[in-house]
Chain A
Amino acid sequence: MLKQTGVPSTDDLKRVSPSEVRLALGPVAIIECFQKIPCNPCATSCPQGAIKPFVDINDLPDFDPALCNGCAICVANCPGLAIFVVDERYSEDTALIKLPYEFAPLPEVGTMVGVLNRGGQQIGVGKIVRVQNPPRFDRTAVVHVEVPKCLAREVRFLALGANKR
């Protein structure tokens, strides 16, 4: 599935999802990286030590959700743009997704935007809550988008710019 279409399967996702208990506790990273490639900035960038140092540079990330505070520094540092932070405790009926975003112009805080799933289909609308783009993120902005809670595990991109469908 992933190797044919670029969309990870439910089984793939199950392997990398933090537990229901951890998700209910608030912001946590979800590392959607499934292939051994020579790459490790996620581990070297995490200030909490939640992603263990790689023994072999080709290792898959070894992530301990208990140590993660959802700061999203790894989100901006992953060259694969494969990490998202999900906060399912954001409000009664909404969740917050922090996703990597490298398109110009950056969305404006307060605006409503279409939100896309992993297959690029629009599945709803979300509200831009914050846009982090400090120099140390090196032009990979982290966009915070508030979405209906039921979409928290599906929303991974914004419908902006070219290819908005």
Chain B
Amino acid sequence: MERFNICIIGGGPAGLRAAIAAGSAGAEVLLIDENDRLGGQLIKQTHMFFGSEKQDAGTRGIDIAQQLVNKVQSMTNVKVYLRCAALGLYDDKVLTVLHEKKYRKIRAEKFIVATGASERMLAFPGNDLPGVYGAGAVQTLMNVYGIVPGQRVLMIGAGNIGLIVSYQLLQAGVEVVAILEGSPHIGGYLVHASKVRRAGVPILTSHTIMQAIGTNAVQAAEICALDSHWARLPGSEKTLEVDTICLAVGLSPLSDLLWQAQCRLTYIAELGGHVAWRDANLCTSEPHIYIAGDVAGVEEASSAMVEGELAGLAAAKSLGLARVDVDTAMSQAREQLIALRAGPVGEKIRTGLALAQMRGDEQHA
């Protein structure tokens, strides 16, 4: 059985930065991802990112991923396994994986789970018709494989993902017929909303989809307006001719491994679903398991990277590894996280994290 100081599960921005941080501190690191390339969500993000220069603001997600991957590959004490899916994480510090179709065991002293989040589905008649996609799938098709999903798209959800994927559809030459949003307000950043709006895409708040229409594939969508109690406004029904319905109705943390490893989890709506209790260093109720990124609470790549760094440093420090000034680097990471979450759009995250940490501390007491 192979042995490492620290094993990181998930090679998105959180896992990549965790690997770099733990590696710089002197740990022997294994980074695994079930995909055939590193980068997680970032490899699909062709738009410029927000944040400050420390989190590569103004740089496109895909370019941020490349910079992180180059760094990881230059580190001799960081090993990478691709096409390697984590299956089970046990309290004797053994991880079972399916690597290149072979079942294997890996032992590490600490694990950092950075598995990201999965897309939510929406229940409506016809949602199983070909032509109904998750926004993530549309992004993967277009930006990784260069395939457009259809010619006339209805987007459901005006959060950042719905807005950005709509913009990317326009860039790919696909018509976006409308963006529907159930709540009375656009949830994503208003600058994203303004840029799809001025390109001619109507954003219909207080609207939802009633059904997808079609025999063998989506041919149309029936939509309606909602009142302030989210009830259908009679008479507002409309049919839009579309061949694609794209769902961008939120993400939920991918916490399966954490459930199985018996970490304490709790449902926190503000963080997107069930998340693990954690201390200020992102260590869960199981002292050998840390978390970072969307699995710790659905947020952003900028904060996922800083969380990855913090978890990587903390895990290395707990093993007595401190090739760099770990304490200073950890307090800088914590300050960056506070700054990123300080504004009004960070309020939801602040509330959610307070809950996740408070219960985590109670748990240790």
Contact = CB atoms under 8 A, between A and B. Distances in A.
Contacts of A118: 194, 197-198
Contacts of A34: 190
A58 B344 contact: yes
A35 interface: yes
A7 interface: yes
A36 B171 CA distance: 27
**Which 10 pairs from chain A and chain B are nearest by CB?**
A58-B343, A80-B191, A120-B200, A6-B193, A6-B197, A79-B48, A41-B58, A39-B50, A163-B200, A157-B198
Contact of B200 (A5, A32, A38, A164): A164
Interface string B166-187: 0001111111100000001110
Sorting the interface of chain B by its residue count into under 10, 10 to 19, 20 to 34 or 35 or more gives 35 or more
Given A38-B51, A138-B48, A116 B59 contact: no
Contact of B199 (A36, A44, A163): A163
A18 B138 CA distance: 40
B53 interface: yes
Contacts of B172: 162
A42 B306 CA distance: 22
Interface of B: 47-53, 57-60, 63, 169-176, 184-186, 189-203, 205, 302, 339-346
A30 to B, nearest CB: 13
A106 to B, nearest CB: 12
Contacts of A119: 197-198
Interface of A is mostly: loop
A40 B173 contact: no
B175 A40 contact: no
A31 to B, nearest CB: 10
A165 interface: yes
A46 interface: no
**B191, B194, B195: residue with the most chain A Cβ atoms closer than 10 Å:** B194
A163 B176 contact: yes
Interface of A: 2-8, 32-41, 44-45, 56-58, 77-82, 102-104, 116-121, 138-140, 156-157, 159, 161-165
A57 B342 contact: yes
B346 A38 contact: yes
Contacts of B60: 138-139
Contacts of B340: 38, 57
Given A58-B344, A163-B175, 9 more contacts: A2-B190, A6-B194, A38-B302, A39-B50, A56-B343, A82-B195, A157-B198, A162-B173, A162-B175
Contact of B343 (A6, A8, A37, A44): A37
25 contacts: A2-B193, A5-B203, A5-B205, A33-B191, A37-B343, A37-B345, A38-B341, A39-B52, A44-B58, A56-B339, A57-B340, A58-B345, A78-B58, A80-B191, A80-B192, A104-B171, A117-B198, A120-B198, A120-B201, A140-B48, A156-B198, A157-B199, A159-B200, A162-B174, A163-B176
Interface-central residue, A8, A81, A119, A139, by most chain B CB under 10 Å: A81
A81 B195 contact: yes
A57 B186 contact: no
Contacts of A102: 171
Contacts of B57: 39-41, 79
> For A3, A37, A45, A139, which residue has the most chain B Cβ atoms within 10 angstroms?
A37
